[in-house]
Chain A
Amino acid sequence: MIKQTFILEKNRLIKKNTILNHLIISVLFFGLWICTDINKFKENKKMKKPYLLVLVLIALIQTIFTSCKKLENAEPKTVITPTVTNFKQIKADPTFNWKSTKVIAVNIVAVNAEVNITNTLFVKTENGNILFTKLHKMNESYTGNITVPSKTDKVIISFGSIVKTVSINNGSALINFIKN
């Protein structure tokens, strides 16, 4: 069994470095304001304290609100610690076949009988490796099985100038030359 520890930071969590960034930005703005308006401060000393207080409050509020928003696009981080260190600990279902491959049925739909064209048909992986080759008549249907790595979810059909990417659905790749 593998223990999966999800560090859930997707919702409600405040990202610490984001707070820090906003604080720094706010302080910088405040410093800039002081530098540029220093003369005004000198002239209006009576106004300085409440003005400063308001600015600090605005900076803090901005910091808190912008920092606490949800991190919409954050991916859940998955830290995987293998806890099964012995093959004998594996809990396998009685129906599991231990295969890293799967069988898919290649079903080719015949086109109009008058299209009496014969050409070489290739079934390929998405990387272009050939899984199966046959001479095929367009106006004949065909069903046959091929074995592909389990992770395969698409195959490419190449028939002369016709090239189609076909999804594998329910263990079957349905090939229709005249439909997308």
Chain B
Amino acid sequence: MKKLFLFTTTAILLSINSLNAQTILNGETNNIEEYNYLCWQIPKSINNSENEKLFISGKYSFETTPVNTNLLTDTYIKSPWLTNGIGNVKLTARLNGSGAKSRGVVFSYAFFDEASKNEDYTTDFNTFYEYSFTNMSNTNTTIISSALPMAIKNTNQPYKIRISFVGTDGEGTIVFDDVEISGRYSSDPSNKCLPAKTSEENDKEDDDKDKVANKYDLYPNDPIKAYNNYYPENSNGTIMFEDLWPSKGDYDFNDLVVGYRFNIVTDAENNIVEINYEITPKAIGAGFNNGFGFMLNKIEWDKIYAVEGLKTEAKWLNLNKNGTEADQKIATIIAFTSAADFLKGPGGSTGVNVDPKVAYVTPQTINFTVKFRDENGKAPNGFVSMKEFSVEDFNPFAIINQNRETEIHLPGYEPTAKADRKMFGQFDDNSSEGNYYKSKDNLPWALNIPAEIPYATEKTDFVKGYKYFAEWARTKGENYRDWYEENEKNRDNDALYIVK
């Protein structure tokens, strides 16, 4: 019986508390603009008081400019849109200054009216309470309070409360603070401070009920997918390899050139649903027959539900059932095992798309999807959030001359578990734990550019094509950060393979 009593009492108290929502305005941020962002309307006739002696509570209070008009629309504050108020409108105020014949505070309300021609979309304001200060020389604080009128009590219809400060004569101001208005905050700062949509209204604009409104949902009929996040954001990226690692090569960086772009598809909870990849072998400037893959750093192989759209085969390639490479703890995907399968060179040439005198071969793009979720949106081994995954976790590498143990990664990036670590430190390589694939003079074997750029022609040193690259590198990337962008200043097109 006692338990039942306690439960009932607690439930009643909680329900009263939730019903009796208060929307509060105090001056504590000392920045009126912030309140306006939150859909209060505070005109320039209201300021934060600068006189500490007049503060009513906390560190700051509000103060009107001299109040010497009875116009309700001159010196006022208007609340954000509120709903379901059942209690009072209340504020604490005091007079300041001299010469006043009268000073007062007036409470009014208005409803939302979509057809209204005024900028607030309100009906006309109706006054429901007036308070007059009786002694103009009394500067003590006064609590001014009134119950909400019956017309707006407990209504779902959005309403605003206007508190006007009025008076005649003199330079006296009104200092006020601790404005409390009964009602649930129902404005939407992200929609021009119009009333927030109700859950029913939101549902009507969300066909797949994933909480993302149709107008923003790129998959409005798919409750699992919501957003696309492309990288690079507006074009393909370019990865270029020198393939003689661990020895230095000729630094034309065209032994294998791969274009790439991927789209991380996320749900309403910011979890990854899938990543769609476009990988394009663009040039082969080597005698070696190279492959290409990438690790998804931090993502363990069994977090991947399936790799779909890839048909990779090689003697050295073993795949898990989900399509990731076998015997790898970290998810590793082999995009192609032989670039030559996708770039068939014209006879007599040592490479493809590296010599401008030889016919251009149109590259084939390999499209595939790495799925993190099953058909029902479930992730058997847990969701992967965008908070824990980033573009930086894309760790591409070349597999050199069909030798699975020879990988070349971007400088600083870790090799996969398949790489032969005995090769580190051999010849020109100076890799160390956490600082892989750099030569003894800190030069790389691979470059990744977040844009589609032309690469150097065969046997042409890369720095001849990009005039500011060397200076960019010398300054640790501080100067000439746009070294790769297309303009005459940056590039020497005679040294670059330009597709016409």
Q: Which residues of A contact B (CB under 8 A)?
A: 1-2, 80, 82, 84-101, 103, 111-112, 114-120, 125, 127, 129-135, 138, 143-147, 149-151, 159-162, 177-180
A90 touching B470, Cβ below 8 Å: yes
B387 touches A144 (CB 8 A): yes
A135 adjacent to B226 (CB under 8 Å): yes
| Contact flag A85-B463 (CB < 8 Å), given A2-B471, A100-B449 | yes
Instruction: Give chain B residues whose Cβ lies under 8 Å from the Cβ of A129.
Output: 233-234
Residue total for B at the interface (Cβ-Cβ under 8 A):
69
Residues of chain B from 470 to 500 with CB closer than 8 A to chain A in the complex? 470-471, 473-474, 476-477, 481-484
Task: Indicate if the CB atoms of A133 and B227 lie closer than 8 Å.
Answer: yes
Shortest Cβ distance from residue B186 to the other chain A in the assembled complex, whole angstroms: 9
| B449 close to A131 (CB less than 8 A) | no
A166 shortest CB reach to chain B, Å: 15
Do residues B212 and A120 form an inter-chain contact, with CB atoms below 8 A? yes
| CB <8 Å contact, A90 and B412 | no
Q: How far is the CA of A179 from the CA of B199 in the complex (A)?
A: 28
Q: Is the CB of B481 within 8 A of A150?
A: yes
Q: How many A-B residue contacts, CB cutoff 8 Å?
A: 179
Partner-binding segment picked from B31-39, B46-54, B69-77, B375-383: B31-39
Q: Which of B3-11, B151-159, B189-197 contacts A (4 or more CB under 8 A)?
A: B189-197
B248 within 8 A of partner (CB): yes
Contact B412–A117 (Cβ < 8 Å) = no
Cβ B411 vs Cβ A98 within 8 A: yes
Contact of A132 among B229, B268, B481 (CB under 8 A): B229
Contact A147 B390 (CB under 8 A): yes
Other contacts beyond A112-B38, A149-B481, A150-B481: 11, CB < 8 A: A1-B470, A2-B467, A84-B471, A92-B442, A93-B442, A94-B442, A96-B476, A98-B477, A134-B386, A143-B387, A150-B477
**B185 contacts A by Cβ under 8 Å:** yes
Assess A120 versus B189: contact at CB under 8 Å? Given A90-B463, A133-B229, A178-B38. Answer: no
B217-241 interface code vs A (CB 8 A; 1 in, 0 out): 0000000001111110110000000
Mark contacts of B244-288 with chain A using CB atoms, 8 A cut-off: 1 yes-contact digit, 0 otherwise. 000010010000000000000010111000000000000000000
Say yes or no for B211: interface residue by CB 8 A criterion: yes
Task: Give the complex CA separation of A125 and B449 in angstroms.
Answer: 17
Once the chains bind, are B463 and A82 in contact (CB under 8 Å)?
Answer: yes
Contact flag A144-B33 (CB < 8 Å), given A92-B443, A111-B38, A160-B191: no
Cβ-defined contact, A96 with B470, below 8 A: no
**A135 → chain B closest CB, angstroms:** 5
User: How many angstroms between the C-alpha atoms of A119 and B228 in the bound complex?
Assistant: 16
